[in-house]
Structures are given as structure tokens and as C-alpha cells.
Amino acid sequence: MGNVLAYCEFSGSTLRSSALSNIAFARASAQAHGGEVIAVLIGAGAAGAGANAAKYAPKVITVEDAKLEHYLAETYAPILARLAKDNNATVVSATATSAGKDVMPRVAALLDAGMASDISKSEGKDTFVRPILAGNAYSTVQITTPIICVTVRQSEFEAAGELGSAGSVTSAPAGEINALGASFDHIDAQKSDRPDLGDAKVVVSGGRGMKNGENFKVLEQLADLLGAAMGASRAATDAGMVPADWQVGQTGKIVAPNLYFAVAISGAIQHLAGMKGSKTIVAINKNKDEPIFQVADYGVVADWEKAVPELIAEIKKIKASR
């Protein structure tokens, strides 16, 4: 018997939607382990978000301290490792966000735990399915350490719903905090009113063929018309046309929206790795031989300069007729 300690990120007084995928995994895993889900919230405002977390987890532990204001793997990992031991956890999990990917292997090292990264499925207590080779294959792994660490791929676990009755919230002391000579300096954040790439129902991505950042404006118009998030290929982000965190792919964001537009993107395996799970894929590319057309449900062989404005006009027409 063992519990599942789920590290949950929050924003303001609510859990991030990415955390709900982690809780969905944690529930299934806790059942297999005959234990319960314990959600852990760390950092400034953790206590304030505890009540919201308790809607999803039977037990919530919050840890607040002035020295934990900014996320640091060095200070957060020891807290998670200690709470795992104190609460008889056999699984410690996080969503595979940038913070989850950063902290969880460090927790695993502190616990001598084997870790399964970015899993797409869990099978029983200790067996997990995870994409490898840029999503070109799925590996089933079994982990034999007494405690197991896991990060879960958000797009593969449907957000957990609320429990019938709210769980309990307690706070735990931070203990001794030692950042080991690491410190947060600042963040250059991209503020946007669009949905997060990870959550969006529609994603509009552009590639090198957009040629420059200015040209992305027309894709942004399309995105705003559809309430979509913006994405891009590595070639477009590397060239500085758009922010780096728009990158979709093996090493960027993994997305699985209902509708994905790939505009002037060739369809390299590393890009496909990030969007192949989308329900409907539309490709607009002027070269009919590009690999993107092999994964696209609908392909249009056209120059974006003509096709995208026309697409916007046609969608507006349909919307107006409804």
C-alpha cells in the first residue's frame, strides 16, 4: 500500500489546468497502489490555492515560505522528497511542464527512485507507456524501485473532475532551505491573452516559409478568430520570428488540439512529434511533396500569402451565417 504524491502547479488561487492531468494520473495510480492522492502545492500563495486543490484531491499539503517565492529545483526537490517519505508515498508525480521536467528527476535522485518521463499511459502499479524516438514508437517500461517518480504528458491525460466532497488541507513546514548557490534572477515572460498551447482546442502554427515575424500577424488573426493558441516550428523560433516558447515539437510543446493548422511547415519528424496527436490536422504548404501532407487530414497546396487571408474570410462567412 502506498500513496501518490502529486506535485501541483497553481496560478493565483487555483490549480493550473496542467495539474489536473497529473491528478487524473494520480487517481488511477493511487487506486493501483491501494493508497490515496496527496496533492502538494509549494511556493508563494500555496495556502491560498489549497482550497481549490482540495476539490480534486482528498488530501492537500501546502508549503509556504518567503524563500520559496520563486520556483527553484534546488529548494523544491528536497521538500517533495521529504514529503514523499513522511507520507508513505510509493509514487511521486508531476505534469511534464518545464517545472515538472526540471524538478522531478532531481526528486528521483534524492529518493533513489527510478523515473518514467513524459508518460502517455499507466498500467497497474509500476508499468508505464511513454513515447520514444520523437513519438515514432511507444516504450512500455517497468520500474522496480520502492518509490517511483513520474511526469505525465498533459495531452494524454484528461483533466480530473471535481470530487464529490472536498478533501482536507494541511500545511507543512518548509524545513531548512538551501538553494545551493542558485537564484532566480528574472523572467522575460510573453504576456498573451490567447489560451495556453497545452490547453488550446485550436492551434495555428507557422514555419520558416512565413519568412519573418511581421508575416505571422495574419496567422494571429486566424488564431484570434478561432480562439486558438499560436505555435511555430523550430525554424521559425530559431530565426527569431516568434518567441521560443511557441515551438511545437519533440523539444518544444506537445499539443493535441481538436484542430491544428500547419502553415508553411515542412513536417520534420521532430515537429510531427509535437502535434501528431491532434484530432484534425490541416496543412497549407506550397510544395505538394512535403511530409506534412502525409499526416494532414486536409491539405491545401497553396502559397500562404493568398491562402490564409482567404481562409480567414471564408471562416468569417460561415460564422456570420450561423
Partner 1 sequence: MKILVPVKRVPDPTQKAKIKDGHIDLTGASWIVNTFDEYAVETALRLSENGEAASRNAGSEIVVVSIGPDDAAKEIRTTLAMGADRAIHVVANDSEIDSLVVVKVLSAIIAAEKPDLVVMGKQAVDGDANQVGQMLAGKLGWPQATFAASIALSDKTLTVGREVDGGVEYKKVNLPAVVTVDLRIVSPKAVQNGVTPASFGYSGEGARLPSLKGIMAAKKKPLETKKLADYGAEPKPVIRETTVTLPPPRPPGQIVADIPTLVKKLAEEAKVL
Binding site for ligand FAD (CB under 6 A): 207-209, 233-236, 247-252, 264-266, 268, 270-271, 274, 285-287, 290, 303-305
**If we measure between CA atoms, which residue out of 299, 192, 197, 308 comes closest to residue 248?**
197
Comparing CB distances to ligand FAD, the nearer of 106 and 286 is 286
Query: Least distance from C-beta 286 to ligand FAD, angstroms?
Result: 4
What phi, psi does 144 have (nearest 5°)?
Answer: -110, 10
172 binds, among ligand FAD, partner 1, none (CB under 5 to 8 A by kind): none
**If we measure between CA atoms, which residue out of 72, 95, 97 comes closest to residue 245?**
97
303 binds, among partner 1, ligand FAD, none (CB under 5 to 8 A by kind): ligand FAD
What phi, psi does 223 have (nearest 5°)?
Answer: -60, -45
* Alpha carbons 160 and 17: distance in angstroms, whole number: 9
Query: Least distance from C-beta 201 to ligand FAD, angstroms?
Result: 21
Contact 79/42 with Cβ under 8 angstroms? yes
Query: Least distance from C-beta 89 to partner 1, angstroms?
Result: 17
What kind and span of H or E run contains 275?
helix 269-275
- C-alpha R_g of the chain: 21
In the bound state, the residue with its beta carbon closest to ligand FAD is 249
Cβ density class 65-75: b for 16+ within 10 Å, e for less: beebeebbbeb
Query: Least distance from C-beta 171 to partner 1, angstroms?
Result: 25
264 binds, among ligand FAD, partner 1, none (CB under 5 to 8 A by kind): ligand FAD
Comparing CB distances to partner 1, the nearer of 46 and 226 is 226
286 binds, among ligand FAD, partner 1, none (CB under 5 to 8 A by kind): ligand FAD
Comparing CB distances to ligand FAD, the nearer of 166 and 239 is 239
Query: Least distance from C-beta 223 to ligand FAD, angstroms?
Result: 17
22 binds, among partner 1, ligand FAD, none (CB under 5 to 8 A by kind): none
Comparing CB distances to ligand FAD, the nearer of 147 and 263 is 263
Contact 24/157 with Cβ under 8 angstroms? yes
- Strands 37-42 and 3-7, sheet pairing: parallel
304 binds, among ligand FAD, partner 1, none (CB under 5 to 8 A by kind): ligand FAD
Hey, what's the cell of 34?
491501494
* Alpha carbons 15 and 49: distance in angstroms, whole number: 7
Query: Least distance from C-beta 238 to ligand FAD, angstroms?
Result: 8
Comparing CB distances to ligand FAD, the nearer of 167 and 209 is 209
